[in-house]
Structure 1
Amino acid sequence: MSALKTILYFSLFKYPLTRTEIFQFSDNPDQKEIDSEIDMLLKKGIIFNFDGFYIDVNNPDRVERRLKGNEMARNIMPKAVKVSKKIAKFPYIKGVCLSGALSKGFYDDDGDFDFFIITQPNRLWIARTLLVLYKKIFLLNSKKYFCVNYFISTDQLEISEQNLFTATEISTLIPLYGTETFKDFITKNPWAAPYFPNKPAVKMSTIRDTEKSRFSKMIQKIFNGSFGLKTDLYLQKFTIKKWRKKFKHLAHEDFEIAMKSTRHVSKHHPQNYQNKVITRLNERLDQVTKQYNLKYLEKHA
């Protein structure tokens, strides 16, 4: 039921897939088996085909929504690349990638630019604070084109939450700055590859390198020593204290994942989307397999 799991996963985002995409995002390397499964799902009425796009609801409007979103993504991409260049020039930034819906080729009026950012060790919180201050002061706190909600540092590149959601995010990242940094990141996360053995490797030709601005070089000169380390530690503690107060409605376990704040990672996902997506996917898998008496999926997301 590899094809079914893939279709249901993307259906959570109202995103129908082509046969090629279903194969690329499945964990079954046999194209014929995937095609056979798709045909079986169609025959049983579990999924629907609209002009070569497959989804689990009988709603052709979702194809129109996808195509419109694909076109908007293509049109907005140059602006996202421009913003990423600005981020890459900030102090202690080693790598910048596009993530979220835009990295999957979709954008709409409610969309934003999600960036996955890799920093120098022990300066993650300085880098993050400077970017957040820039957003608040110069962008009037607008998140639409400047959503910097996930940071990791180069001394611990392995993603600890290893599941279908994080594997999908890694496999769809669009690396824009920091060639060697991104190569190291992929090397440190080999666990993600088996989720999508059919997906083509990320094109490294999209990655650029940029010189730091004079301002960045000056900031780095100021904070490169022990004063910088103390400042970074202070900013981490200050941010955690602020978040615990602001998001006290989150259970401790949810906070530790959604707002993860260590020396190596900073996440700002108060909606805990990762957990919601995985939970909902497993519920849909159970629902569909039982409703249509399908072979039970041994491995969930």
Structure 2
Amino acid sequence: MSALKTILYFSLFKYPLTRTEIFQFSDNKDQKAIDNEIDLLLDKGVIFNFDGFYIDVNDSDRIERRLKGNEMARNIMPKAVKVSRKIAKFPYVKSVCLSGALSKGFYDDDGDFDFFIITKPNRLWIARTLLVLYKKIFLLNSKKYFCVNYFISTDKLEITEQNLFTATEIATLIPLYGKDTFEAFLEANSWASPYFPNKPATKISTIRDTEKSGLSKMIQTIFKGSFGARTDQFLQKVTLKKWIKKFNHLAKEDFDIAMKSTRHVSKHHPQNYQNKVITRLSERYNEVIEQYNLKYPEEHA
């Protein structure tokens, strides 16, 4: 069940996996059991093997797509690191990580740089607003290389939505700036570790630190104390009001997850991929179990 779930999960993103990757992203610590399950799935025609890559559709083009995307990710990574350094210099930013497809080693012509940012407490919305203004004014609102869509603050580092999707995102983050803050983040989210007990620990020795610019220091001085706290609350209210109006097509329960806007969290995920991926994975898993009459223990994805 563990290998199948892993293959199906990444197949939702049209991303075939090697045996090593299947093992690393499974919750079964028994390598032999994983290999036996893969062999069983191959024998039953549930999955296909193309040059050591496994996927649940008979489409070798997905291998070519993956390899091309891997190469593009390697080539674009230095630029992503450069952008992250710029973000790290902004006021109140404590840690910067790459997330999304690029953090999983994939990039294509439709890709962008997704950043996961950790800020000081009670200054999250000031930090976010400054970064968004920078993108709109100086980058002409380009999202391709500057997608800052997920912020949390250091006073509440634990991710509240604890599921396979968020565990995968945590496990694949590439931390670039703010070593101490990121280590604290990992400790606060130790709940995610049992999802992938075989995955190598995130490399933290290469995480950088950087000095704030003179402008950043000046802004932090201006927004010290209660004035800064009130400004932060004001920006949160303004942003939330705008989003409620703009994304009124989302059901409240979807909005509360995809566009979470609290004192400690800011998410801008209007497509609500988290819910879509978890729902589709469960559906696909049950379809495969039924179609191939697989005799697994009764569990749900």
What TM-score do you get using the length of structure 2 for normalisation? 0.99
**Which residue does the alignment assign to 1:182?**
182
Letter in 2 for 1:92: Y
List 4+ stretches of structure 1 deviating above 3 A. 296-299
Residue identity over aligned pairs, in percent, reads 84
**Which residue does the alignment assign to 2:269?**
269
Kindly indicate whether residue 13 of structure 2 is the aligned counterpart of residue 43 of structure 1.
no
Letter in 2 for 1:262: T
Aligned runs of 1:199-210 on 2, under 5 Å?
A: 199-210=199-210
Q: Secondary structure at the match of 2:112?
A: coil
Aligned runs of 1:152-163 on 2, under 5 Å?
A: 152-163=152-163
**Which residue does the alignment assign to 2:16?**
16
1:223-255, Cα deviation, whole Å (9 max, x unpaired): 011110000000000000000000000000000
**Separation of aligned partners in 1, 2:232 and 2:298:** 45
How far 1:205 moved relative to its partner? Answer: 2.0
**Which residue does the alignment assign to 2:213?**
213
Letter in 1 for 2:51: D
Kindly indicate whether residue 108 of structure 2 is the aligned counterpart of residue 119 of structure 1.
no
**Separation of aligned partners in 1, 2:298 and 2:261:** 33
- Structure 1 gap ranges (5+): none
Kindly indicate whether residue 71 of structure 2 is the aligned counterpart of residue 93 of structure 1.
no
How far 1:9 moved relative to its partner? Answer: 0.2
Letter in 2 for 1:203: K
**Separation of aligned partners in 2, 1:34 and 1:116:** 32
**Which residue does the alignment assign to 2:165?**
165
- Structure 2 gap ranges (5+): none
Q: Secondary structure at the match of 2:117?
A: strand
**Separation of aligned partners in 2, 1:297 and 1:82:** 47
How far 1:101 moved relative to its partner? Answer: 0.2
Aligned runs of 1:188-203 on 2, under 5 Å?
A: 188-203=188-203
CA RMSD of aligned residues (A): 0.7
Letter in 1 for 2:141: N
**Separation of aligned partners in 2, 1:103 and 1:206:** 15
1:169-220, Cα deviation, whole Å (9 max, x unpaired): 0000000000000000000001100000000000112200000000000000
Letter in 2 for 1:184: A
* Count of equivalent residues: 301
Kindly indicate whether residue 106 of structure 2 is the aligned counterpart of residue 106 of structure 1.
yes
**Separation of aligned partners in 1, 2:123 and 2:286:** 44
**Which residue does the alignment assign to 1:291?**
291
**Which residue does the alignment assign to 1:138?**
138
Q: Secondary structure at the match of 2:205?
A: helix
How far 1:296 moved relative to its partner? Answer: 4.3
**Separation of aligned partners in 2, 1:286 and 1:297:** 12
How far 1:270 moved relative to its partner? Answer: 0.4
How far 1:295 moved relative to its partner? Answer: 2.4
How far 1:300 moved relative to its partner? Answer: 2.8
How far 1:298 moved relative to its partner? Answer: 3.5
**Separation of aligned partners in 2, 1:67 and 1:300:** 31
How far 1:29 moved relative to its partner? Answer: 0.2
Aligned runs of 1:230-249 on 2, under 5 Å?
A: 230-249=230-249
What TM-score do you get using the length of structure 1 for normalisation? 0.99
Shift of the 227–48 alpha-carbon distance from structure 1 to 2, 3 Å rule, reads same
